[in-house]
Structure 1
Amino acid sequence: MTGWDARADLVVVGSGVAGLSAALDAVAAGLRTVVVTKDGIGEGSTRWAQGGIAVVLGDIAGDSLDSHVADTLAAGGGLSDPVAVGTVVRGGPGALRRLRERGALFDGRDARLDRTREGGHSAFRVVHAGGDATGAEIERALVAAARSAQLTVLDGHVAVDALRDVTGRVTGLSVLDAEGRPGVLHAPAVLLATGGYGGLYASTTNPPTATGDGVALALRAGATASDLEFVQFHPTVLYTGPAQGRRPLVTEAVRGEGAVLRDRTGVAFMAGVHPRADLAPRDVVAAAITRRMAETGADCVHLDATGLDGFAARFPTVYASCRAAGIDPATDPIPVTPAAHYACGGIVADVDARTGVPGLYAAGEVARTGLHGANRLASNSLLEGLVAGERAVRAVLADRAFAGPGIVGRAAEPAPALPVADRSVVQRAMTRYAGIGRDATGLASASDAVEAATVTAVPLDRTGVEDAALTLLAQAVLAAAGTRRETRGCHVRTDFPERDDVHQRASLPVRMDASGRPVVVADALVGAA
């Protein structure tokens, strides 16, 4: 591999809330830091987040940090790590304060921020900005802070592979620019903050950047992934007919303010599904909507917000999307369906973002810390990104001090040939057979379809890197989904509709085998309790 090279103390891949929070802290700590991002600095998933940040600030009667922990554990379907949950939840108030110090403006007065409630929460604890534009405001503030700090950003570049020395320690990152020209960033620490893999599915709330690059890169570097089968589908995405790519989200906060889901006949069907009805956890609501559409033969259900006052002012983003589709939420129920939204699993990392590969860190949606388990609690994602970004930099600094002098980087080797399938084939197979409601026959059909479309090729540009990542993620998700023979959280098996806490209350580690295929670690569920 030929091309340019440069040196840094830390390379951050991704420019969402976790990546930019970490990069800003790293620069403040004196680390030479480079942010690598495929598009512009503000084009990641963070900007599309609507609902807000779940955080307990101590000013809501009856709410507490312990309640937030309990709600998170309840939503996680028995697979959340209580230590990770407690660490992130208790780190929230301080992380929010530092975000506000960086210029983020939230709704309400300084002394008392406005709060809303979302599915799975027992209290009004979600702070928001611009009504339903929280992610956009966070991204605005962090981008402005990055420019003020003169943070080095390498935009228009896709990360290809982590470079490692003979001991397996990370020594840098290989990248390709928009023209496919290679480059190398030598660094003793690489932080992946690349988001999830909503691009596996035909319809998603994610931007086009969410193609699983970070998880694929980490697996190829020898890291372990876990909980990959738990893909959260947001229950309410604006339905305007069959669609491909990113779809407009209808934030869960609309239901938190009193909107009700109804089927095509007007029946409010969530009342008999869960004690919290329309504010049940997302996995419950998304599955209920899918069942109701199948039962009634409808392409969508409807979110009735006609009884809400001031909809346009409270939810300007949703209102604009509805009006563009010819819908007036004040008089018309909003047509909605579920769509791929969030990866609850990812690279196995601790709460300080350390993975099993020395020098490789992972924070935010790309990581599996044990916070989310089998289903993410609403508005815990922005919270995790803020807390994880800060903790990651502290870990990098601690590991740097322990390791002593910086590691000498080595030149990158020629890019390897990787399995690559046509993206449209992958998306069709995953959408049809690995969405909400899976069975052994369908999962096998999806695997066969991906396998039949796979060739071996050297990725030469961003599209090639993304297609290779999506192919690897499809194989990994299908392997995990086929192994977990139960229904738990976001993973709904129609041939195994019951939850099995006796044998399957455990996460499934996924690693690359000697042939370069992702496999579930043998006997991962044996003896699990």
Structure 2
Amino acid sequence: MNVIVVGSGIAGLTAALHAREAGHSVTVVTKGAIGDGCTGYAQGGVAGIYGAGDSAGQHAADTIDAGAGLSDVSAVEVLVREGATRIAELIARGVAFDRSPSGELLLGREAAHRHARIVHAGGDATGAAIAQALVAAVRSADVTVVEEAFLADVIVEEGSARGIRVVVDGVVSDLSADAVILATGGAGHLYAHTTNPVGATGDGVAAALRVGAAVADLEFVQFHPTILAEGPAFLVSEAVRGEGATLLDAAGRRFVFGSHPDGELAPRDVVARAIARQAARQGSPVRLDATMIGRPRLAHRFPTIDRVTRERGLDWSSEPIPVTPAAHYLMGGVVTDLDGRTSIPGLFAVGEVARTGVHGANRLASNSLLEGAVFGARAAAALDSPWQYLPVAAREERGNGLLRGEGPFADDADTHVVAFSRAALQRMMWDHVGLLRSEDALRRAVATARRWLAAVPDPTTVAQREDANLLLLAEATASAALARTESIGAHFREPVAAALLETV
């Protein structure tokens, strides 16, 4: 079988390696250089190794709790059941996870995990270690790699995916395939502030939408609580709080306990909203205090963060550092079954582009790399199986979601709409479809996005195609958020949402 994998993070490269090892002809098509993308930026690690008193069942329970009860149990069970095997596979492919002097894997803990069960590499450079190992494995395998290739569209013929349309050096061409595996990552650049690299413009979800694939849970966008508020966006791992760091207001008081009994180790959505509210009240960023961890431990456990903070003139071993939330991860995406199949025969989706059902309304820390590895391998294993798309717990059964083409129209009496630009879209999404939302703001966002969609000409350049993808996703995300009237997980609605965040 001729298989095209679009994307080269942990999900895409895992799928490519498994497909090739199963005897398929595999081509990896990637937007930048192979290994670029979010995987290499991941700091915390991979959840799934259980010590004394821990178990896969407890990991599953933590995942479902963090997902506000909207995670699909069958998908979570697959994740935790197959996680240890995929971690062992990463080790076999050359990922040097950190170990104790006696050779045991060191396990870290992050928010909403009841136990330390997260393996990490290079202290806080887990994603980079994984990307390096998987890229080397693909380079040494008989896999064709096409770099600097932009996904323009999925080609569908007679109802099935038959390849992709790409742009390389300004030239549009078609690549045929018997199966296409989307592994294009998320869409952090919908927002004015994000942890994602520049290529995260939602290209895979947008391409799937254009061919009519089912999507869901787009309203659930995770904002990482702690991004360094000095210089360009730089993530300060949740594992720092797992090691004991605390969040302080301007008076030096811990404030997150006012929002959740677990304080700094509450689920990400809770911590991020608490930070946003506190920063708005005091008119300045909150501070992350890691001084109690000590200089030697900080430098050893978090060498990347330690280096970057010092490069920016901050000594986090002696004083708290300013932090702020930023868009981080898309829990929704292209709806799949437990083997990565989408509603379009021949089209698979794995990793952040997919909505597997694992994350529900809020992703548990360090489950994303695990999900990419587990479901990337499963998609490859399903290539030879008859097509049977059985999505886990379709969104309509939960009553308040959006599949393509559904949801209320948002009329807006305000006739003034700013001209479309990526910056204008990102600002609109941050203000109106961000951490804190309101019905009025969501209606304005949907109306604005639809007016832009009606007015923007067809794209020709790659940058214009990225903008078109972001605009399509902005409308779908805002519509999904408007359709879900209750607050749950990362989707939180309150009357003063937009006004509150303007000061963050």
Fold equivalence (TM over 0.5) = yes
Aligned-residue offset at 1:396: 1.0
Which residue does the alignment assign to 2:291? Answer: 306
Partner SS for 1:397: coil
- Name the SS for the 2:328 alignment partner: strand
Alignment match of 1:364 (pick from 325, 337, 351): 351
Paired AA for residue 472 in structure 2: L
SS at match of 1:159: strand
Contact persistence 1:76–1:373 (CA under 8 A): yes
Report deviation, 1:210: 0.7
1:239 equivalenced with 2:225 (yes/no): no
The AA in structure 1 aligned to 2:470 is L
Residue 296 (structure 2) pairs with residue 297 (structure 1): no
Alignment root-mean-square deviation, CA: 1.8
Q: Write the deviation string for residues 217-251 of structure 1: whole angstroms up to 9, x where unpaired.
A: 1111111110100000000000016x6xxx11000
1:118-267 alignment runs, 5 A limit: 118-166=110-158, 168-177=159-168, 179-240=169-230, 247-267=233-253
1:282 to 2:272 alignment: no
Q: Distance in 2 between matches of 1:42 and 1:163?
A: 25
Q: Partners in 2 of 1:44 and 1:461 — Cα distance?
A: 21
Aligned 8 A contact 1:422 1:453 in 2:
no
- On the 8 A contact 2:306/2:316 being kept in 1, the answer is yes
How far, CA to CA, are the matches of 1:476 and 1:22 in structure 2?
28
Structure 2 letter corresponding to 1:463: A
Alpha-carbon deviation of 1:296? 2.0
1:70, 1:481 → 2: CA distance? Answer: 26
Secondary structure of 2:28's partner?
strand
Deviation at 1:25, TM superposition (A): 1.0
The Cα offsets for residues 284-328 of structure 1, whole Å up to 9 and x where unpaired, read as 100111111122222x11000011132111101111121121001
Q: Aligned residue for 1:443?
A: 442
Matched, 1:68 2:62: no
Question: Cα deviations across residues 177-219 of structure 1 (Å, max 9, x unaligned)?
Answer: 1x22011111110000011110100110000111011001111
- Secondary structure (helix, strand or coil) at the match of 2:291 reads coil
What secondary structure sits across from 2:378 in the alignment? helix
Please state if 1:270 is matched with 2:271.
no
Contact (CA 8 Å) 1:486, 1:496: kept in 2 or not? no
The more displaced of 17-26 and 309-318 is 309-318
1:459 & 1:395 partners in 2: Cα distance? Answer: 35
Distance in 2 separating the partners of 1:312 and 1:400: 50
| Rounded Cα–Cα distance in structure 2 between residues aligned with 1:37 and 1:192 | 10
Cα distance in 2 between the residues matched to 1:56 and 1:107 = 13
Counterpart Cα distance in 1 of 2:386 and 2:179: 9
The 5 Å alignment of 1:17-36 reads 17-36=10-29
Task: Give the secondary structure class of the aligned counterpart of 2:78.
Answer: helix
Q: For 1:388-399, what aligned pairs fall within 5 Å after superposition?
A: 388-399=375-386
2:487 aligned with 1:487, yes or no?
yes
**Does the CA contact (< 8 Å) of 1:485 and 1:496 recur in 2?**
no
Matched residue of 2:219: which SS?
coil
Paired residues of 2:223 and 2:327 also in contact (CA < 8 A):
yes
Separation in structure 1 between the aligned mates of residue 201 and residue 75 of structure 2, nearest angstrom: 26
Instruction: Tell me, yes or no, if the aligned pair for 1:51 and 1:251 is still in contact at 8 Å.
Output: yes
**Distance in 2, Cα, partners of 1:483 & 1:374:** 15
Cα displacement (A) at 1:344: 0.5
CA distance in 2, matches of 1:144, 1:204: 29
Q: CA deviation at 1:421?
A: 4.6
Q: Is the 8 A contact 1:175 1:184 kept in 2?
A: yes
Aligned-pair CA distance for 1:448: 3.5
**Deviation (angstroms), 1:495:** 3.5
SS at match of 1:480: helix
Q: Secondary structure at the match of 1:141?
A: helix
Equivalent residue number for residue 103 of structure 1 = 94
CA distance in structure 2 between the aligned counterparts of 1:221 and 1:421, rounded to whole angstroms: 24
Following superposition, the deviation at residue 438 of structure 1 comes to: 0.6
Q: Name stretches of at least 5 consecutive residues in structure 1 with no aligned partner.
A: 1-7, 402-419, 498-529
The answer to whether the Cα contact below 8 Å between 1:18 and 1:385 also exists between their aligned partners in 2 is: yes
The 2-side partners of 1:424 and 1:319 are apart by 31
Deviations 1:342-392 (A, max 9, x none): 001000001210001000000011101110000000000000000011000
Number of corresponding residues: 464
DSSP 3-state at the match of 1:183 = strand
Contact 2:188-2:328 at 8 Å conserved across structures: yes
Q: Deviation of residue 74 (structure 1)?
A: 0.3
CA deviation digits over 1:469-525, x for unaligned, max 9?
10110000000111111110001101399xxxxxxxxxxxxxxxxxxxxxxxxxxxx
Write out per-residue CA displacement over residues 34-73 of structure 1, whole angstroms, 9 at most, x where no aligned residue.
Answer: 111110002111000000001134xx11101100000000
- Structure 1 contact 120–377 (Cα < 8 Å) conserved: yes
* Secondary structure in 1 matching 2:292: coil
SS of residue paired to 1:443:
helix
Q: Distance in 1 between matches of 2:214 and 2:156?
A: 16
Residues 31 and 78 of structure 1, relative CA distance in 2, 3 Å threshold: same
Decide whether aligned partners of structure 1 residues 220 and 453 sit closer, same or farther in structure 2, where only a CA change above 3 A counts: closer
Q: Which runs of 5+ in 2 are unaligned?
A: 389-418, 498-504
Structure 1 Cα separation of the partners of residues 357 and 449 of structure 2: 29
Q: Equivalents in 2 of 1:456, 1:208: separation in Å?
A: 22
Give secondary structure in 1 for the equivalent of 2:339. coil
> What's the CA shift for 1:456?
4.1
Matches of 1:203 and 1:320 in 2, distance apart? 22
Whether 1:316 aligns to 2:303 is yes
What's the counterpart of residue 92 of structure 1? 83
User: What displacement does 1:400 show?
Assistant: 8.2
Structure 2 counterpart of 1:425 = 424
Match of 1:478 in 2: 478
The reply to whether residue 115 of structure 1 matches residue 107 of structure 2 is: yes
The answer as to whether partners of 1:425 and 1:453 remain within 8 angstroms in 2 is no
Q: How many angstroms apart in 1 are the aligned matches of 2:109 and 2:369?
A: 15
Aligned partner letter, 2:378 = R
3-state SS in 2 of match to 1:375: coil
Matches of 2:314 and 2:383, distance apart in 1:
49
SS of 1:469's equivalent? helix
Q: What amino acid is the match of 1:392?
A: A
With structure 2 as the length reference, what TM-score do the two structures score?
0.89
TM-score of the pair, normalised by structure 1: 0.85
Instruction: State, as a whole percentage, how many aligned pairs show the same letter.
Output: 51
